[in-house]
C-alpha cells in the first residue's frame, strides 16, 4: 500500500480533487470568456470550489507529515511555478493576473511549515486562529497592496486566483494535524480495504503537472469551440 512514502488513498483523493478542479475551472472559463453565463461564486458551485481547494490544502498538510524530502527545495520549486503563472497571466490578463495564487501559497507554506512539523494539537489550534483572522480580513479592504500575499486585500482588487497566507495556511496546518493523527511516523494508523483506482492515483501523483497544463488546454479547447458556436 505504501511505496516511496505514498499511500494510495491520499493519491486517489488528490486525483478526485483534480477532477473537481478541472470541472470548476471549465465552468469558470465558460463564464469568464462569455461563452456561457454561470456564476461559480454563488450557491452550489461556490461550495463545490471551496471543497475542492480545501481537499488540496488538507492533503498538503497531511503529506508534509509523511514526506521526508527537503521542504525548502520542494517549496521553492512549487513557488517558482507559481511565479511563472504570475508572469503568464500578467501578459494575458493584466487586469486580473495572479499575484499570489494557490501554487504561491503551497510553495511558501511548505517552506514555513518546518517549525510546525513537531507540533500536533497545537497545529489544530494555530490553524483555527489563522483561519479566523483570515476570514475577518476578507471582510475588510485596505488602501495598500504590498500585503496582498498575507491577506490584506486592497479596494477593487480582482485576480483569477488568490490564496493568501491568511486564512489558507491555517487549512494546511489542520492537514498537518490530521497527518500526525492518521499517519504518525509515516505509517497508516487505521485499517482500510485496498480499493485503489489506478486512474485516480495517476492523477494524484501528477497533480502539479496537470494543474499547470489543464488551463491552457481548456482555453485552447474553448477558443476552438467558440468558432463553431
pLDDT digits (tens, 9 = 90+) for 181-215: 999 988 898 888 888 899 999 999 999 999 999 98
**pLDDT at position 128:** 98
Report yes or no on 2 lying in a domain.
no
What does the alpha-carbon distance between residue 105 and residue 128 come to, in Å, rounded to a whole number?
Answer: 17
Number of domains in the chain: 1
**pLDDT at position 226:** 67
Report yes or no on 215 lying in a domain.
yes
The grid cell for 8 is: 494510495
Report yes or no on 143 lying in a domain.
yes
Higher pLDDT, 197 or 67: 197
Report yes or no on 3 lying in a domain.
no
What does the alpha-carbon distance between residue 204 and residue 211 come to, in Å, rounded to a whole number?
Answer: 11
**pLDDT at position 71:** 79
Structural domain of 151 = 8-226
Report yes or no on 75 lying in a domain.
yes
71-92 and 207-226 helices, crossing angle to 10° = 10
Report yes or no on 190 lying in a domain.
yes
Report yes or no on 151 lying in a domain.
yes
Report yes or no on 33 lying in a domain.
yes
CB neighbours (10 Å) of residue 24? Answer: 19
The grid cell for 95 is: 487586469
Amino acid at each position: 500500500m505504501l511505496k516511496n512514502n505514498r499511500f494510495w488513498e491520499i493519491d486517489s483523493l488528490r486525483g478526485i480533487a483534480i477532477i473537481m478542479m478541472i470541472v470548476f475551472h471549465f465552468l469558470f472559463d465558460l463564464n469568464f470568456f462569455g461563452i456561457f453565463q454561470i456564476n461559480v461564486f454563488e450557491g452550489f458551485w461556490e461550495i463545490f470550489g471551496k471543497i475542492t481547494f480545501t481537499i488540496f490544502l488538507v492533503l498538503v498538510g497531511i503529506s508534509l507529515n509523511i514526506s521526508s524530502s527537503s521542504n525548502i527545495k520542494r517549496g521553492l520549486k512549487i513557488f517558482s511555478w507559481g511565479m511563472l503563472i504570475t508572469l503568464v497571466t500578467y501578459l494575458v490578463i493584466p487586469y486580473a493576473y495572479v499575484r499570489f495564487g494557490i501554487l504561491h501559497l503551497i510553495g511558501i507554506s511548505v517552506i514555513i511549515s518546518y517549525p510546525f512539523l513537531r507540533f500536533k494539537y497545537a497545529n489544530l489550534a494555530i490553524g483555527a486562529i489563522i483561519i479566523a483572522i483570515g476570514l475577518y480580513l476578507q471582510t475588510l479592504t485596505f488602501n495598500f497592496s504590498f500585503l496582498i500575499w498575507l491577506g490584506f486585500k486592497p479596494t477593487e482588487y480582482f485576480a483569477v486566483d488568490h490564496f493568501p497566507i491568511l486564512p489558507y495556511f491555517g487549512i494546511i496546518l489542520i492537514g498537518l494535524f490530521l497527518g500526525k493523527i492518521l499517519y504518525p511516523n509515516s505509517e497508516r494508523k487505521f485499517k482500510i480495504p485496498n480499493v485503489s483506482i489506478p486512474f485516480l492515483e495517476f492523477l494524484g501523483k501528477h497533480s502539479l503537472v496537470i494543474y499547470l497544463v489543464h488551463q491552457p488546454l481548456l482555453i485552447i479547447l474553448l477558443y476552438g469551440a467558440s468558432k463553431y458556436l
